[in-house]
Amino acid sequence: MSILKIARMGHPVLSTVAKAVADPAAPEVRRLVADMLETMIDADGAGLAAPQVYVPWRVVVFQAPAARDDGLSEAERFDRTAPLTVLINPEIEVIGEMRESGWEGCLSVPGLRGLVERPAHIRYRGIDHEGHLVERVAKGFHARVVQHECDHLDGVLYPQRMADLKKLIFESEARHWLPDAE
Ligand code: NI
Tell me: pLDDT of 181 over 50: no
Mean pLDDT of 133-157: 96
Q: How far is the CA of 165 from the centre of ligand 1 (A)?
A: 17
Query: What's the CATH superfamily of 12-176?
Result: Peptide deformylase (3.90.45.10)
Q: How far is the CA of 48 from the centre of ligand 1 (A)?
A: 6
Tell me: pLDDT of 34 over 70: yes
Q: How far is the CA of 118 from the centre of ligand 1 (A)?
A: 15
**149, 171, 173, 182: which is the annotated catalytic residue?**
149
* pLDDT band at residue 182 using 50, 70 and 90 as cut-offs: very low
The per-residue pLDDT for range 111-120, each reduced to its tens digit, is 999 999 999 9
Mean pLDDT of 65-87: 76
> Residue 79: what pLDDT?
78
Tell me: pLDDT of 73 over 90: no
Mean pLDDT of 3-32: 97
* pLDDT band at residue 75 using 50, 70 and 90 as cut-offs: confident
Catalytic site residue 149? yes
DSSP-derived letter for residue 120 is S
Q: How far is the CA of 167 from the centre of ligand 1 (A)?
A: 17
Pairing of strands 47-49, 121-127: unpaired
Alpha helices in 81-129 (DSSP H): none
> Residue 61: what pLDDT?
98
Mean pLDDT of 121-126: 98
Q: How far is the CA of 109 from the centre of ligand 1 (A)?
A: 7
Residue 27 to residue 31: CA distance in whole angstroms = 6
> pTM of the full predicted structure?
0.93
Mean pLDDT of 96-109: 97
Phi, psi angle pair for 32, to nearest 5°: -60, -45
* pLDDT band at residue 149 using 50, 70 and 90 as cut-offs: very high
> Residue 76: what pLDDT?
78
Q: How far is the CA of 55 from the centre of ligand 1 (A)?
A: 14
Burial of 26 (0-12, 13-18, 19+ CB in 10 A): exposed
